[in-house]
Structure 1
Amino acid sequence: MTELDERRGTTSPAAGDRWFEDFAVGQRWTSPPRPVTADDLADFTRISGDDHPLHAGPDAVLQGPFGVAVAMGLLQRLGIHGDAVLGLLDTHWAYRRPVRVGDVLTLEVTIVRCRRTSSGDRGVVTRHMRLLDEGETVQEGTTTALLRARGAGPDPVVRAFGTVPWAEALAARADLAEDLASWDGTVGLRCEDDEVHLRVYRGRVIEVTRRAPRGATFTLGADAATWLEIVEAPENPFMRLAMAGRFTVTGDGYEYLRLTAALHRLVDAAREIA
């Protein structure tokens, strides 16, 4: 296994050469394996001061934050971030199963969001990270970093989920006349903290805006990883993911159910432009 396994097949520049513009939603990497040793347990117990009985004896488990630390170390070993990184902005993490001495951990990294700051000379990149032991997820979450940018843009919009340019591209591609011929209202689409409203009149999107004056009739939302899964799946998985609870709906639930077919067409449009 090479140190950098970028599944999209593009050539990686040397560490330190990647700026904001070098990242795109959907890029993926896998790290080399990293064994967990008895010295890891002893050292992390000493450094953290967490000597709870769970972390001692033959059935000892490593402290939860040990996994986060290993994930960040494996991310650094991949060499995909260098001098352009200005700092870590946030981390959202979930613990799926214990980590024990003898586990062999690998890290899968997927870029799920890229957006430029208002100043234009910096960008924010969100990475979904999965820490695995023999293919089973032990911990996962997202981390967001601030990076220098080479210039002021423009940036690709086709995977900028939840933004106005993305929704404008959807509106231009989706044919909603059949499903919404007699419907007037506003459909909200949200990706984490980005939300956009599509004002619909008789089957035609007449306006795309960050916020409609009277709000959305209903808003369909999901995290960035779910939107990415939707646009990259071999077939449209919207109904399956909706039934699995991967989407949230706020507002008029009855109108949401009435417009299921139209939403399916919007998702088809999102998949086409992506």
Structure 2
Amino acid sequence: MRYLTWRDLSIGMTFQAGPVAITPTLVSEFARITGDNAALHTQPDAAARTIYGGLVAHGMLGMSLAHGMLRQALAGLHDDLIALTAVGAWRFHAPIRASDSLLARFEIIELASHTGLPRGTATFTVTVLNGPGHNAQTGRTTLLIRTDPHSDAKATARADGSPAG
């Protein structure tokens, strides 16, 4: 893994992460944690009688895993990643089945420095694939990133990037 800094990032830069195996246990645990225990997610026999023909993951599980994969893809930034600040235009195109393996692709579409502050935001398009070339989800997400690795931006940053206090 190569160490990255804010200066290494550029519009059009792409990253990929995964695979992440979707299992019935993972889907069941997500249902337990969220309280969404719909039969489609928790009861194989009932789920088999739906249009999906079996257990499917919650859409938010795919979205959550995508953000974890983004963190993995950007591991070279180490502790310079401060916070997730926005998620937008998220679309659910196809079910994620309890037997799928997910990949995620990310492309930087916007970089914005915060004048006078040691941080900026990077906005990414996100594509979650549940098979070769099969888009399950797409969206956009924005991360707050330290622009000066020698600063202690986390002590003074709000989620929107403005100074605290």
Q: Quick check: TM above 0.5?
A: yes
Give the drift of 1:115.
1.0
Runs of 4+ in 1 over 4 A off after TM superposition: none
State the distance in 1 between where 2:5 and 2:77 align: 8
Aligned mate of 1:91, from 79, 87, 92: 87
Conserved 8 A contact 2:124-2:141: yes
The one-letter amino acid paired with 2:146 is R
Contact 2:22 2:99 in 1 (8 A): yes
Q: How does 1:10-25 map to 2 (within 5 A)?
A: 13-14=2-3, 18-25=4-11
Contact 1:116/1:123 (<8 A) preserved: yes
The 5-angstrom pairing of residues 173-252 of structure 1 reads: none
Number of the residue aligned with 1:180: none
Q: Distance in 2 between matches of 1:41 and 1:109?
A: 24
Please tell me whether Structure 1 or Structure 2 has the larger radius of gyration of its CA atoms.
Answer: 1
Q: Give the whole-Å Cα distance in 1 for the aligned partners of 2:76 and 2:142.
A: 14
What does 1:24-63 correspond to in 2, within 5 Å?
A: 24-55=10-41, 56-57=43-44, 58=48, 59-63=54-58
Determine if contact 1:114/1:125 at 8 Å carries over to the other structure. yes
Q: What count of residue pairs does the alignment treat as equivalent?
A: 137
User: How far did residue 27 of structure 1 move?
Assistant: 0.5
Q: Deviations over 1:57-109 (max 9, x none)?
A: 23222111000111112122222442111211101121111111111110101
Q: Bigger relative contact order, structure 1 or 2, given CA contacts below 8 A and separation 6+?
A: 2
Percent sequence identity is 26
Structure 2: gaps of 5 or more residues:
49-53, 150-165
Q: Considering only aligned residues, what root-mean-square deviation do their CA atoms show, in Å?
A: 1.7
8 Å CA contact retained: 1:20, 1:125: no
Task: Report if aligned partners of 1:60, 1:100 keep a CA contact under 8 Å in 2.
Answer: yes
Partners of 1:146 and 1:32 lie apart in 2 by: 22
Q: Assess, with a 3 A threshold, how the Cα gap between structure 1 residues 128 and 104 changes in structure 2: closer, same or farther.
A: same
1:147 Cα deviation from its structure 2 partner: 1.1
CA distance in 2, matches of 1:68, 1:117: 27
The answer for unaligned runs of 5 or more in structure 1 is 1-11, 152-274
